[in-house]
Amino acid sequence: MAYLLVFLLTFVFMEFVAWFAHKYIMHGLLWKLHEDHHTKESSHSFLEQNDSFFIIFATPAIIFILIASISYAPYLLVIGLGITAYGLCYFLVHDVFIHNRLKFLNKIDNFYFRAIRRAHKIHHKKIYKEDGECFGMLIVPFKYLKAELNKDK
Ligand SMILES: [Zn+2]
Ligand SMILES: [Zn+2]
């Protein structure tokens, strides 16, 4: 039970980490790596410089899981798995569902996912480092949820 709680807390905490990193690091010091995700709409190459963040964000989880597998550290393993699960969800929601980089999940039509997509598209409207909104992913501003929910009525 405690493991499950730690797993869930890690997952939720990662939404905060993702928001923070997106707002203050990707739109800050490492903007150069994130910029192409905002500027290019139709690209010729499948990969973006922005994909470097997959490696950057996966590294702590890999290290945690490695340490846990050579020493007895079950909580570290659970935290590593929580980070990995969040990363996978982020990939599925952001890269597959919102940006259609792989051709599945695009038929989802549920108010929560529509609100996520809406909010992220708003984020993409800004192509400069300085201004921006909706830096989070799975936690959506209430106004978008409400707007999408009303469409279902
Ligand atoms: Zn951004
Ligand atoms: Zn995006």
Where along the chain do its domains lie? 2-36+47-151
> Averaged over 54-72, what is the pLDDT?
96
| Structure-block tokens of residue 51 | 């994909």
Q: Which residues, at least 6 apart from 35, have a Cβ–Cβ distance to it below 8 Å?
A: 49, 50, 129
pLDDT in tens, 85-106: 999 999 999 999 999 999 999 8
Judge whether residue 43 has pLDDT over 60.
no
- d(CA 66, CA 31) in angstroms, rounded, equals 30
Q: How far apart are the first and last CA of the chain?
A: 38
Query: Ligand 1: distance of its center to the CA of 70 in Å?
Result: 37
Please, what's the b/e burial string for 79-101 (b: 16 or more CB within 10 A of its CB; e: otherwise)?
bbbbbbbbbeebeebbbbbbeee
With tokens 């939720």, the residue in question is 12
Confidence label for 127 from pLDDT (cuts 50, 70 and 90): confident
> Averaged over 14-29, what is the pLDDT?
96
- Closest listed ligand to the CA of 101: 2
- Closest listed ligand to the CA of 30: 1
